[in-house]
Chain A
Amino acid sequence: MSKARASFGRTAGVHVALIAYTLIALFPVFLTIANSFKSRNAIFREPLALPTPETFSLIGYQTVLKQGDFLGYFQNSTIVTVVSIALVLLFGAMAAFALSEYRFRGNALMGLYLALGIMIPIRLGTVAILQGMVATGLVNTLTALILVYTAQGLPLAVFILSEFMRTVSDDLKNAGRIDGLSEYAIFFRLVLPLVRPAMATVAVFTMIPIWNDLWFPLILAPAETTKTVTLGSQIFIGQFVTNWNAVLSALSLAIFPVLVLYVIFSRQLIRGITAGAVK
């Protein structure tokens, strides 16, 4: 009995800690969304209050939708994020498959080289990247952002996926070879479905920094037609006056697409348990 009680106490303790952390993590999000529905005065008078009938106002959202091409910004952010994730997953998984599946000279060294990017921030190379983009005429294009983000996401993807691919049974791949599947078919049809949970993890880790990034859009693609949401929101933050209604509304809107992508990937995380492949 004492054992059961002790484990109950421990479970309760764990839950208290997790709930506290959840509240802390969600608080800024809550604050942003709540205040985005309030009038300017109400935001400053009582920042922590929920919107009441008197303080409720959609002025922020109206400003955001009127000023600038926000729909365009959303579209840019979505294109950049989705295409980058797709490229990171595709190339990352392919490199990981090669590293984990084939014995070749310098295999371990190559793996280390590809994972090096985890330790060295890509922003250190900003000047060189900018020079390169200028030279190739890619400045102010979404392609520039996609290329940079793909490079930024690949090291982690290769690292995580190659570890996971090592766990895929050799027998299964060999059975595919004997049944006449090409190496590409083995990769796409046997291995990828089995590492789907890992792919979802990588997708989530890759997506958040790309969506939230301000640095590269500001440097590589600040033109009106290629602005991302994060950069677009900056027009409301002035040196002297900041339109808080608009900033909060823009940020609230920016949360939703990420939320949708996250829900999609996390379902994969849960569903991707692959019982019955091998014993």
Chain B
Amino acid sequence: MGSLQLKSIRKAFGGHEVLKGIDLEVKDGEFVIFVGPSGCGKSTLLRTIAGLEDATSGSVQIDGAEVGHVAPAKRGIAMVFQSYALYPHLTVKDNMGLGLKQAGAPKKEIDEKVAKAAGMLSLEPYLARRPAELSGGQRQRVAIGRAIVREPKLFLFDEPLSNLDAALRVNTRLEIARLHRSLKATMIYVTHDQVEAMTLADKIVVLNAGRVEQVGSPMELYNRPANVFVAGFIGSPQMNFIEAARLGESEAKTIGIRPEHIGLSRENGDWKGKIIHVEHLGADTIVYLDTEKVGTITVRLFGEHRYAEDETVYATPVIGGMHRFDADDRVINSGQ
């Protein structure tokens, strides 16, 4: 239990179409992440699945049953919001139990389920507190606990980590990954952070301007991007895009090479250039250089390197690291 099918979902606000026909299949137990720039419609799509927005057309099926006209509470879903959205006047325990209480579950069952979820998230000491007395990370754990208590078919996460600071974000991310393993539940997660997407997902759905650009596992998207948008969106620093004509390629319009797929040498190489900036990150060194042949490119070297600005160096692309894109920005022959 816990599969989802979307068939040509469209959503328009007034005359403005936000979702332009989304088809998607999510299998039971999968962790699917919607990723894309802000305004691409990923949150709207999540709300449509939750039933908080009605699709203008198209069908949403959970476990094979059409839920287009089913109220959010009856869809068997639970949602975790970016702003936590805890009920300020209820204790942590009541916050977590409210959904079951509304559904008419007996008190004993509610208590058991709340205790179990609190145990999973180490929230036991805070059960009697109100949200105002908790820290941001604790609040988000309560919000996740509230979702777990409902034992939903689908977990929906709407940018749950965006309000947390960097250290808490990593911890909570691990916690969500652990939950997914132990609950074996289907989870759908919206984020604009590609690190979250790459680390958590079984399957990433890249959205742009209301359309699905590509669906695939994190490594598929990284190694075989279907088009220029996905190639540029996944991976950091961004992929270098070079006009194919500069490299004498006739069939392709754009050539993409990831910064980590370019080698650097002081003695010899394919593209001669001058270093304009170097970023030392410890584990990586990012070198920006201005080449005569292919323009400005970014090179990512692993470990520490003693390159300095204004040095002349030679860059060489790694064999098989090139992605070729045609005039419609679609991939022709992705790097093997």
Asked if A179 contacts B81 (CB within 8 A), the reply is no
Residues of chain A at interface, number, CB under 8 A: 21
Asked if B102 contacts A181 (CB within 8 A), the reply is yes
Q: Which of B52, B88, B99 contacts A276 (CB 8 A)?
A: B88
Asked if B77 contacts A180 (CB within 8 A), the reply is no
| CB-defined contacts of B52 to chain A, threshold 8 Å | 174, 177-178
Tell me if B86 is interfacial: C-beta within 8 Å of chain A.
yes
Asked if A279 contacts B73 (CB within 8 A), the reply is no
B window 95-136: CB within 8 A of A:
98-99, 102-103, 130-134, 136
Asked if B136 contacts A279 (CB within 8 A), the reply is yes
Tell me if B141 is interfacial: C-beta within 8 Å of chain A.
no
Closest to B143 in A: A175
Least distance between B13 CB and chain A CB atoms (Å): 8
Asked if B85 contacts A171 (CB within 8 A), the reply is yes
Asked if B131 contacts A277 (CB within 8 A), the reply is yes
A window 188-231: CB within 8 A of B:
189-190, 193-194
Q: A174-B52, A276-B133, A277-B131 are in contact. Are A179 and B85 (CB under 8 A)?
A: no
Tell me if A275 is interfacial: C-beta within 8 Å of chain B.
yes
Cα A189 to Cα B139 with chains together (Å): 20
Asked if B102 contacts A276 (CB within 8 A), the reply is no
| CB-defined contacts of A274 to chain B, threshold 8 Å | 88
Tell me if A49 is interfacial: C-beta within 8 Å of chain B.
no
Cα A35 to Cα B139 with chains together (Å): 59
Cα A275 to Cα B89 with chains together (Å): 10
Q: A172-B85, A194-B88, A279-B139 are in contact. Are A179 and B98 (CB under 8 A)?
A: yes
Tell me if A278 is interfacial: C-beta within 8 Å of chain B.
yes
Which interface class (under 10, 10 to 19, 20 to 34, 35 or more) fits B?
Answer: 35 or more
Per-position contact with A for B157-168: 1 when CB-CB < 8 Å, else 0?
010000100000
Asked if A178 contacts B50 (CB within 8 A), the reply is yes
Tell me if A62 is interfacial: C-beta within 8 Å of chain B.
no
Tell me if A169 is interfacial: C-beta within 8 Å of chain B.
yes
Asked if B103 contacts A180 (CB within 8 A), the reply is yes
Least distance between B78 CB and chain A CB atoms (Å): 7
| Most-contacted residue by chain B among A172, A176, A179, A190 (CB, 10 A) | A179
Cα A189 to Cα B84 with chains together (Å): 18
Q: A177-B72, A178-B73, A279-B136 are in contact. Are A169 and B85 (CB under 8 A)?
A: yes
Q: A174-B81, A179-B98, A180-B102 are in contact. Are A275 and B132 (CB under 8 A)?
A: yes
| CB-defined contacts of B98 to chain A, threshold 8 Å | 179, 181
Least distance between B122 CB and chain A CB atoms (Å): 20
Asked if B83 contacts A171 (CB within 8 A), the reply is yes
Closest to B90 in A: A189
Asked if B83 contacts A278 (CB within 8 A), the reply is yes
Asked if A180 contacts B85 (CB within 8 A), the reply is no
| CB-defined contacts of A276 to chain B, threshold 8 Å | 86, 88, 130-134, 139
Counting from the closest, the 10 A-B pairs by CB-CB distance are A276-B132, A180-B73, A180-B102, A171-B85, A277-B88, A171-B81, A179-B99, A175-B85, A278-B83, A276-B131
Question: Contacts A174-B47, A174-B72, A276-B134 given; 18 further ones with Cβ under 8 A?
Answer: A171-B82, A171-B84, A171-B158, A174-B52, A174-B85, A177-B71, A177-B72, A177-B73, A178-B78, A179-B102, A179-B150, A180-B71, A180-B102, A180-B103, A194-B88, A276-B131, A277-B87, A278-B86
> Which residues of chain A have a CB within 8 Å of any CB of chain B?
169, 171-172, 174-181, 189-190, 193-194, 274-279
> Which residues of chain B have a CB within 8 Å of any CB of chain A?
47, 50-52, 71-74, 77-79, 81-89, 98-99, 102-103, 130-134, 136, 139, 146, 150, 158, 163
Q: Can you give 8 A-B contacts (C-beta < 8 A)?
A: A171-B83, A174-B72, A175-B81, A175-B146, A180-B71, A275-B132, A277-B86, A278-B83
